[in-house]
Structure 1
Amino acid sequence: MSVAPLVLELELHTPLSTVPPQDPLTAIRARNRAQLSDVLEGLRRAAKDSKVAALVAQCDGGTQTPAVVQELRDAVLEFRRSGKPAVAWAQSFGELGPGTLGYYLASAFDEIWVQPSGDVGLTGLSARAVFLREALDQLGLQPQLSQRHEYKNAANMFTESEFTEAHRESLTRIVESMGEQIITAVADARDIDPQRLRDLIDAGPASADDAMAAGLIDTVGYRDEVYHAVNRSVGGRMRLRYVSRYNHARTKNDAMLRAPIQRRRGYVALVYGHGAITVGRSSASPFAQGSMGSDTISAALRAAVRDDSVKAIVFRVDSPGGSYVASDTIRREVLLARRRKPVVASMGSVAGSGGYFVTMAADAVVASPATITGSIGVVGGKISPRRLLDRLGIHVASVNVGQQADMFSSDEPFTDEQWEIVNRWMDRVYDDFTAKVAEDRKLARDHVLDVARGRIWTGADAREHGLVDELGGLTTAIQAARDRGGLPYRDDLADVRTYPRVPFLERLRPAESSQSPAATGTTVRAHAPLSDVATALGLPSTGALTMPFVPRT
């Protein structure tokens, strides 16, 4: 009796993990989350695998970021070019809530099903900002935050009571750009006139029946009916397997067969930088996304350069920025690596401010159309509780050696002289940032000053302004690295190695030097410092090169 064909499954109501676990704690926490790279690679493999007959995906969760959705859509469209059916289904695209991104992803499939009780919450996109200035005034907290320049909106949460003109303009363009991308893609996929689609969006959530009548979905039905239809389409028998599990099995088999040949040809090194940029080692925490430490990333880049089997490097960055000096340290290592091997930067969902700083010196910068990037600007200062402490009868006194010894104390506001020092530093950092953008990107300084000023851009708009070289996801960046490194084209990741490559036992030993593999490890924090709590609440992470708040869609 012949083996039943494979039907691959995707469950996308849980966010995909975009970074491989770097420590045991993170691995345990992520054990039930599929890796984005596994899903992308699995779909590419499945398109050519005669054992795979179809793909079925649950897309009702709008939990993926716009950039991740675009990478998934591209992979699904590539799978469909094999002629194999791909079916998306949802209990509901938003239950009395937004479902735009979930539906945007589903539109890449051959068919879209929705449960009879479900809706299609195709309602558009929204970017919101919170303003705390009046609350801070009532509490007696005095914000002293300086920013370069008017579009660097990270401080506005504390310094303003409503949108400034520049803040509103910047966020408006972000949602407009993303909206244009979504409308164009959905209208083409569903064969709906773009203006008609805009009208449907403005009409708000539609019931499953109304959505089918409008051509937004194909069938109204429950999960069991979806799977029954898929089973019938592949011959009445099917075996189910998650895409990530399928890819793991294939990867293990292929690696054993191809390892000797691949070692001779060479590899692409993949270095991940994720989270707020900090000085020192990267960290992982159960309470936040962790940080991108300058020492860890620098050591990983140096390790890839020293490895003779590595022919090119891809630096994958997903970060809202952070420390200026840490960002500059990583940029320096990218420049040094470029002297030996090609370096291609791949921007994830967010690569802004310091996240842009660390990528801009690469040989090529690749971003998804919906990546949030740019934010070439600086923000810094503090919020002093002096008025609150006085109101509570709490008095803090200090003795100092040096006129500016208490300049960075948390309980006192800046003096006029100290505020002048802060602003001189802000000007110096901004001038350095913009000068390096002009140098790295080979752009006229006047042009950089025009597109900088702290403004965030989508990847699509950033490319128009010369801040990004090419639009695409991680796959695009890897192929660009192959081209520059003299490696042949591949439609899999057999020639890609994640760096740092540190054996488990080596991770348990103290590093012998800054050049040893163990130096690339992460620090696992069992507690949540205030910076992690702030990040979890949507507040800016610590550091001068921190981008404005990322719009939530």
Structure 2
Amino acid sequence: MNTAVPGSPRRGPIAEFFVGLWNVMNFTRRLIVNIIFFSLLLLFVVLVLIIAGAGGAKPLLDDTALVIEPTGPLVEQFTADPAERAFKRALGDHDGDEIQLRDMLRVLDAAKDDKRIERVVLKLDRLDGSGMASLREVADALARVKASGKEVVAYSEMMDQKQYLLAAQANEIYLDPMGGMMLEGLGRYRQYYRQGLQDKLGVDVHLFKVGEYKSAAEPYVLDAASKEAKEADLFWMNDVWQRYLGDIAKARKLDAAKLAEGIDQLPAGIADVQGDLAKYAVQQKLVDGLKTAEEVGDLLAERGAADGDAEDGYRQVSFDDYLTRLNAGINPVDPRPQVAVVVAEGEISGGEQPPGKIGGVSTAQLLRAARDDDNVKAVVLRVDSPGGEVFASEQIRREIAELKKADKPVVVSMGDLAASGGYWISMNADKIYADESTITGSIGIFGLIPTFPRALDKIGVHSDGVGTTRFAGAFDITRELQPEVGQVIQTVIDKGYRDFTGRVATARKRSVEQIDEVARGRVWSGAQAKERGLVDDFGGLQAAITDVAQRAKLGMPGKYNVRYIEKSAPPFSQFFSTFAESRIGAHWLRESSFAQGLAQALLPRALSQTTQDLRFLQGAIEPTRGVPVKSLAYCFCGL
């Protein structure tokens, strides 16, 4: 059919082709958009109906075992979106899973007093990468469960020494006959890049720092750890390790010296049992017996209530299900005065940062929200951070000071790590709590500038030009760094160190000289930091909450509400997480091939250490307006 308008110029065949092609594409585009829109609308309606008719959870019966089978590390705050977590959990995808420490403690303390919970069963094989302070806090909670008269049973196929710190609290520990468990000690080894960067690639990394123990940037300028770094690391690591042995010995009624002796004689001991690590663990009294998972299930079914429908044959409730029950009992509108908890976990960077990182702007906003909320009477800052950018750390510290000016007491609770910038944001609190095995201190400043003229020369590229002064373009990394420019940078870093030690001295009511003696970039355990006046008392998060409530005169526990102030998830994310956590929603997601395919692309694999280190170097040299170098208060001091 000819659609040309009379009198209009006639299109050529090529133009007609492309016009027709465009009309087809435009029609197809609109069709696809409409299909997607109506499909999503239909899905939304279906989801609402499913949730409305999903029904409640099964009642919790007497003689139930609480099964704690964590996957991933213990964290202070989830790093993934609620919908993403629920989506992956519903599909049985545990890659990137995390367990909030606060949830673990709530579950254990509730189970201790719950008459329906007969015992706690620990399956710790997939617990990963947690710090000593967090593990000790969970171990204390397990000890409280055991002290209440409830049985704690641990089972593992293969267990490392961090997982074992929790298992050791159990009344009985069983290991698979083909499994393994041994203590080996604490080690901390890093990769060093000087030869690769400088000799191979021609990249010259210039380090400016204050403090002979400030070793965070050593891998970029040395081929091995400095004498000072090894001395300082071994000092705090030995303290943490001896405490670990003491905790194990106390829980298992063993001798700490004999545990240490068993490690020293490890080759001979393993040879005596012909390489059977499970048998060796029994011989060392680290475990009570060797059983398969099925045999442990039969044992617990005999002791408790058998349940043929349960996976292991005994009546049980999972950690997630029990936590859901606890959360369902929370009153969303609580008129009581509040203690606000703000979590500062991860590296400290400028601007807005997602959960799992600390933003100079975003974390300060959370603290400001607590200051502006009349219902909030006191604040606990929970810190688990190796530090990061100095200016971002200072933004957060200022908000702590403003809270105190507003007559709202602030107490810091240090987690596994509160070092360098992590200490900067902590120092102005009314009181600082830490675990004896918390890693803290590292009061020092450094800056990094790599220059690339030699690297560019290797490929025949050169930098040249003119400037109106001798310092115009002096900080261009494609040019050699002149000595007088280095002098400017070192002067800036010196000033940053004076700021750091001066603020600590004021906050801790000490002289600058006294702070300098324990600063200079040196890392301490929590126990060592308390001896040196950097920490006030030992205790976990609950101790900090109780303390700050008393300072605000809120009365006994129960007279006030504890509320976490966090960035809220978008409405759809909250809706989807509710759907995915329902039994019918989880079943639908598991059976959906589309959902399973999508889940495989949700999270990238963890970066290697080398990639992480080089990304840190890249971040360190990102330009900052008005300053020649980004001042960093960072500590590579985790375990």
**Structure 1 length normalisation: TM-score?**
0.87
1:209 corresponds in structure 2 to 279
Q: Which moved more, 1:21-30 or 1:77-86?
A: 21-30
Q: Distance in 2 between matches of 1:135 and 1:333?
A: 42
Secondary structure of 1:318 counterpart: strand
Cα gap change, 1:417 to 1:2, in 2 (>3 Å): closer
What is the aligned counterpart of 2:114 among 27, 43, 49? 49
**What's the CA shift for 1:231?**
2.8
- Paired residues of 1:353 and 1:376 also in contact (CA < 8 A): yes
| Structure 2 CA distance for partners of 1:207 and 1:502, relative to 1, 3 Å | closer
Correspondence for 1:15 = 73
Q: Which one of 166, 172, 177 corresponds to residue 116 of structure 1?
A: 177
- The answer to whether structure 1 residue 300 and structure 2 residue 387 are counterparts is no
Shift in alpha-carbon separation, 1:203–1:537, aligned structure 2, 3 A: farther
Equivalent position of 1:40 in the other structure: 105
How much has 1:355 moved relative to structure 2? Answer: 0.9
Q: Which residue of structure 2 lines up, in the alignment, with residue 66 of structure 1?
A: 132
CA distance in 2, matches of 1:499, 1:124: 38
Q: What SS is found at the alignment partner of 2:216? A: helix
Name the structure 2 match of 1:269: 340
Per the alignment, do residues 459 and 545 of structure 1 end up closer, same or farther by CA in structure 2, a change over 3 Å counting? farther
Q: Does 1:497 align with 2:579?
A: no
- Measured after TM superposition, the shift of residue 488 of structure 1 is 3.6
* Residue equivalent to 1:369: 436
Give the CA deviation at 1:354: 0.8
- Equivalent residues in 2 for 1:224-303, closer than 5 Å: 224-236=294-306, 238-255=314-331, 259=333, 262-263=334-335, 265-283=336-354, 289=356, 291-303=357-369
Give the structure-2-normalised TM-score: 0.75
Mean CA deviation greater in 228-237 or 116-125? 228-237
The amino acid of 2:181's aligned partner reads V
SS at match of 2:463: coil
* Secondary structure of 1:426's aligned partner: helix
Tell me, yes or no, if the aligned pair for 2:71 and 2:98 is still in contact at 8 Å. Answer: no
> Deviation of residue 202 (structure 1)?
2.2
CA distance in 1 between partners of 2:378 and 2:440 (Å): 24
Question: Relative to 1, partners in 2 of residues 1:308 and 1:503: Cα closer, same or farther, differing over 3 Å?
Answer: farther
Alpha-carbon spacing, 1:245–1:480, altered in 2? closer, same or farther (3 Å): farther
Matches within 5 A, 1:65-464: 65-93=131-159, 99-138=160-199, 139-204=201-266, 207-236=277-306, 238-255=314-331, 259=333, 262-263=334-335, 265-283=336-354, 289=356, 291-340=357-406, 341-464=408-531
Which residue matches 2:30? none
Q: Give 3-state SS (helix, strand or coil) of 1:487's partner.
A: coil
Conserved 8 A contact 1:42-1:244: no
Q: Distance in 2 between matches of 1:311 and 1:325?
A: 28
TM superposition shift of 1:336:
0.6
Write out per-residue CA displacement over residues 84-139 of structure 1, whole angstroms, 9 at most, x where no aligned residue. 0111111012xxxxx22121221122111111011112111111122222222322
CA–CA separation in structure 2 for the residues paired with 1:155 and 1:249: 47
- Counterpart residue number, 2:635: 548
Q: How many angstroms apart in 2 are the aligned matches of 1:507 and 1:249?
A: 21
Rounded to whole Å, the distance in 2 between the matches of 1:30 and 1:266 is: 36
Q: How far apart are the structure 1 equivalents of 2:296 and 2:393?
A: 49
Deviation at 1:234, TM superposition (A): 2.6
Tell me which moved more, 364-373 or 107-116: 364-373
The Cα offsets for residues 218-267 of structure 1, whole Å up to 9 and x where unpaired, read as 111112222322232235454322224312312322426xx4xx41x311
Superimposed CA distance per residue, residues 326-384 of structure 1 (whole angstroms, 9 cap, x where no aligned partner): 11111111011012201111222221111110011011111222222111001102111
CA distance in 2, matches of 1:163, 1:21: 32
Distance in 2 separating the partners of 1:164 and 1:186: 32
Give 1:410 shift. 2.5
Residue identity matched to 1:422 = I
SS at match of 2:316: strand
Deviation at 1:273, TM superposition (A): 1.5
Structure 1 residues 175 and 503, CA gap change in structure 2 (3 angstroms) = closer
Q: What's the offset of the Cα at 1:2?
A: 10
2:14 matched residue in structure 1: none
How far the C-alpha of 1:40 sits from its partner, in A, is: 0.7
Equivalent position of 2:41 in the other structure: none
Distance 1:477 1:434, change over 3 A: same
Does the 8 A contact of 2:382 with 2:413 survive in 1?
Answer: yes
The AA in structure 1 aligned to 2:477 is S
- Contact 2:412 2:433 survives alignment (8 Å): yes
Percentage of matched positions with identical amino acids:
31
Determine if contact 1:53/1:85 at 8 Å carries over to the other structure: yes
Do the aligned residues in 1 keep the contact of 2:440 with 2:524 (CA within 8 Å)?
yes
- The answer to whether the 8 A contact 2:209-2:494 is kept is no
Tell whether the 8 Å contact from 1:255 to 1:494 is kept in structure 2 after alignment.
no
Shift of 1:503: 7.1
In structure 2, relative to structure 1, the CA distance for the partners of 1:414 and 1:430 (3 Å cut) is same
Deviation of 1:434 after TM superposition, in Å, equals 0.3
Partner deviation per Cα, 1:26-73 (whole Å, 9 max, x = no partner): 656885533221111111111111111111111234532222211211
SS in 2 for 1:216: coil
CA distance in 2, matches of 1:281, 1:2: 42
TM-align CA RMSD: 3.0
Query: Is the CA contact (8 Å cut-off) linking 1:132 and 1:157 kept in structure 2?
Result: yes
Give the SS at the match of 2:223: coil
In structure 2, the residue corresponding to 1:117 is in which secondary structure?
strand
User: Which amino acid in 2 is paired with 1:242?
Assistant: S
Contact 1:301 1:334 in 2 (8 A): yes
Contact 2:554/2:560 (CA < 8 Å) preserved in 1?
no
Distance in 1 of aligned mates of 2:610 and 2:439: 22
Report the secondary structure of 2:554's partner residue.
coil
Provide the rounded CA distance (Å) in 2 between the counterparts of 1:329 and 1:471. Answer: 27
The CA deviation string for residues 387-418 of structure 1, in whole angstroms up to 9 with x for no partner, is: 11112211233444443332332222321111
2:418–2:440: 8 Å Cα contact kept in structure 1?
A: yes
- Cα deviation digits, residues 448-474 of structure 1 (max 9, x gap): 111100011121211111111122222
Q: Is the 8 A contact 1:274 1:317 kept in 2?
A: yes
The change in CA–CA distance for 1:429 and 1:305 in structure 2 (over 3 A counts) is: same
Does the 8 A contact of 1:62 with 1:100 survive in 2?
A: no
SS in 2 for 1:336: helix
Deviation at residue 207 of structure 1 after TM alignment: 1.6
Deviations 1:174-199 (A, max 9, x none): 22011111011111111111211101
Indicate conservation of the 8 Å contact 1:5/1:234, yes or no.
yes
Greater Rg, structure 1 or structure 2?
2
Q: Which letter does structure 2 place at the counterpart of 1:550?
A: C
Distance across 2 between alignment mates of 1:64 and 1:22:
17
- Stretches of 4+ aligned residues off by more than 4 angstroms: 21-32, 235-238, 505-508, 536-541
Measured at CA, do residues 216 and 502 of structure 1 come closer, stay the same or move farther in structure 2, by a change above 3 Å? Answer: closer
